[in-house]
């Protein structure tokens, strides 16, 4: 036999070698699942650029970090919705969720059910090791009745959840069970799952050293090999046969042909009239701004946050060299509660994004001031622009002599001419006219950039009305 030189490991292309050695315990079989997945991808001949793996938190979820594929390590239990985002953004991708029973069936249980119902073409490969292993082995949804864990030291009193039965009930169109001790069978299941055009689920039984130790089991792997029975056809009894001390039925429980229900897409195609094109041209320039603090305050629902966004985009239109921050604060009630947006524009780096004392205060209502006991916070040499249709004027009597106050019935103008919701842009027009902080065209371009389709004309006209009100 001729000497054959192997220049690299056959899995090398699909592994992040720089991440090795892995964190798994010696004797853990998660690595085998990883290898079976690599072989499945290689056998299918898929371009690695088309394969995405999304994982949550836990020992099994660490697989995502070792695969040389586009992968996301999501938050605990949220791998499925994160994967769904990937799939909706690019339906051509083969998206696979990999994780453990605690992550997918426990914390992410609701997402697991929803995925079966919704019918997206994605794969869920769930490594079932009967508990939360990464944190020392706490009880989880699949912990066997009577099994000892950190949190059930006297033995679990709960009947375990049967992942295959749940997947079948939830509507997964491909459902299989295998183990890490049957790598070729596991790879075949993975290949069939990936080929299925609907939601696919493979339960993969894996031994955990912590579970073995706590329950005085010499080798779960030996038990899997002894008790597992790979079957061509499986019955309802096989679905329920999950007790590894008796018999474990392995195989494909459901493999439905291409799902009849169409896959969901992010946007429903609708025939729309071609939108009218608007354009506002502006010139960028050196603004000369050193440091300006702007606060817009009012009531939730008045477009206070949107106003802050308009100001910051307008400032960036005018002078892209400026540093800027925007922060927003509102109560849990959102609509109807107090709301304020802070914008800082500076030629220097900004260390602290909250406005302490604004140079320019835009008061769309008096709710924030009244919550402060009637205090109006503004720089002694600053400027206040007030929506006089919404603000109690008596609040302004104590402002310092150096403060300039401009008044505009922004809400009234918006109500009389357009809709109340564009009062914030009436305010913007008035601000553009009465203060010289940001150029008119830059603000209009910012408004246009964020106006929902079909409302551009109204928003720009509201701005013009406010500008007109500011005088000639």
Residues that bind ligand SF4 (CB under 6 A): 24-25, 28, 30, 59, 129, 133-134, 208-210
**Closest CB 218 distance from ligand SF4, rounded Å:** 15
Cβ distance to ligand SF4 smaller for residue 128 or 287: 128
Cβ distance to ligand SF4 smaller for residue 132 or 430: 132
**Closest CB 21 distance from ligand SF4, rounded Å:** 12
Comparing CA positions, the residue from 170, 130, 169, 167 lying closest to residue 152 is 130
Cβ distance to ligand SF4 smaller for residue 151 or 347: 151
**Closest CB 453 distance from ligand SF4, rounded Å:** 50
Comparing CA positions, the residue from 141, 77, 162 lying closest to residue 111 is 77
**Closest CB 129 distance from ligand SF4, rounded Å:** 5
User: Cis link prior to 21 (omega < 30° from 0)?
Assistant: yes
Going through 331-465 in order, the beta strands assigned E by DSSP cover: 338-346, 360-363, 383-387, 404-408
Cβ distance to ligand SF4 smaller for residue 133 or 306: 133
Cβ distance to ligand SF4 smaller for residue 80 or 204: 204
Cβ distance to ligand SF4 smaller for residue 28 or 79: 28
Cβ distance to ligand SF4 smaller for residue 39 or 103: 103
Based on C-alpha coordinates, what's the Rg of the chain? 31
Cβ distance to ligand SF4 smaller for residue 28 or 122: 28
Report the run of H or E that residue 66 belongs to, with start and end.
helix 63-66
Comparing CA positions, the residue from 101, 124, 298, 88 lying closest to residue 196 is 124
Q: DSSP secondary structure string, 235-247?
A: -HHHHH---TTT-
User: In the sheet that 248-255 helps form, which strands lie side by side, from edge to edge?
Assistant: 70-73, 51-55, 94-100, 123-128, 200-205, 174-179, 248-255, 228-230
Phi-psi region of 421 (alpha: psi -120 to 50; beta: other; left: phi over 0): alpha
Report the run of H or E that residue 214 belongs to, with start and end.
helix 209-214
Helices (H), 79-129: 79-89, 101, 109-118
Q: How many helices (H) and strands (E) does the chain have?
A: 16, 14
**Closest CB 66 distance from ligand SF4, rounded Å:** 13
**Closest CB 108 distance from ligand SF4, rounded Å:** 17
What are the tokens at 373? 């006991």
**Closest CB 23 distance from ligand SF4, rounded Å:** 7
Q: Report CA torsion sign: 132, 133, 138, 142.
A: positive
**Closest CB 213 distance from ligand SF4, rounded Å:** 10
Cβ distance to ligand SF4 smaller for residue 129 or 341: 129
With tokens 């696979």, the residue in question is 96
**Closest CB 115 distance from ligand SF4, rounded Å:** 23
Q: DSSP secondary structure string, 434-472?
A: H--SS-HHHHHHHHHHHSPTT-HHHHHHHHHHHHHHT--
């Amino acid at each position: 036999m001729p000497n054959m030189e192997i220049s690299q490991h056959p899995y090398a292309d699909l592994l992040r070698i720089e991440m090795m050695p892995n964190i798994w315990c010696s004797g853990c079989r998660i690595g085998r699942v990883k290898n079976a997945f690599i072989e499945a991808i290689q056998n299918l001949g898929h371009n690695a650029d088309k394969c995405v793996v999304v994982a949550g938190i836990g020992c099994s979820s660490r697989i995502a970090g070792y695969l040389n594929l586009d992968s996301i390590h999501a938050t605990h239990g949220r791998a499925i919705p994160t994967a769904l985002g990937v799939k909706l953004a690019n339906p051509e991708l083969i998206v696979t969720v990999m994780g453990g029973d605690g992550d997918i069936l426990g914390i992410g249980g609701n997402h697991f059910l929803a995925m079966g119902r919704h019918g997206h073409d994605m794969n869920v490969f769930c490594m079932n090791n009967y508990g939360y292993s990464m944190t020392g082995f706490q009880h989880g949804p699949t912990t066997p009745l009577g099994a000892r864990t950190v949190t059930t030291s006297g033995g679990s009193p709960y009947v375990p959840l049967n992942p295959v039965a749940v997947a079948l009930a939830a509507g997964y169109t491909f459902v299989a069970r295998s183990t890490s001790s049957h790598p070729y069978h596991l790879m075949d299941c993975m290949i069939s799952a990936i080929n299925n055009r609907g939601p696919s689920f493979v339960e993969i039984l894996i031994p955990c050293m912590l579970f073995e130790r706590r329950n005085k089991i010499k080798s779960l792997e030996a038990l899997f090999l002894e008790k597992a029975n790979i079957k061509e056809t499986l019955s309802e009894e096989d679905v329920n046969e999950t007790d590894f001390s008796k018999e474990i039925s392995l195989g494909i429980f459901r493999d439905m042909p291409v799902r009849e229900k169409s896959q969901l897409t992010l946007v429903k195609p609708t025939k729309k009239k071609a939108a009218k094109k608007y354009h506002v041209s502006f010139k960028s320039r050196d603004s000369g701004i050193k440091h300006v603090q702007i606060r817009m305050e009012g009531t939730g629902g008045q477009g206070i946050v949107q106003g802050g966004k308009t100001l910051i985009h307008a400032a960036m239109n005018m002078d892209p060299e400026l540093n800027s921050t925007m922060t927003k604060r509102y109560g849990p009630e959102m609509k109807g509660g107090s709301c304020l947006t802070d914008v800082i524009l500076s030629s220097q780096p900004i260390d602290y994004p909250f406005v302490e004392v604004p140079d320019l205060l835009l008061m769309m209502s008096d709710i924030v001031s009244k919550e402060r006991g009637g205090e109006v916070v503004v720089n002694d040499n600053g400027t206040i622009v007030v929506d006089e249709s919404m603000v109690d004027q008596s609040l302004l009597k104590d402002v310092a002599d150096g403060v300039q106050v401009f008044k505009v019935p922004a809400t009234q103008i918006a109500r009389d001419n357009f809709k109340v919701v564009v009062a914030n842009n009436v305010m913007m027009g008035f601000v553009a006219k009465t203060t010289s902080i940001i150029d008119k065209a830059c603000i209009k371009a910012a408004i246009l950039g964020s106006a929902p389709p079909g409302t551009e004309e109204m928003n720009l006209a509201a701005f013009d009305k406010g500008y007109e009100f500011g005088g000639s």
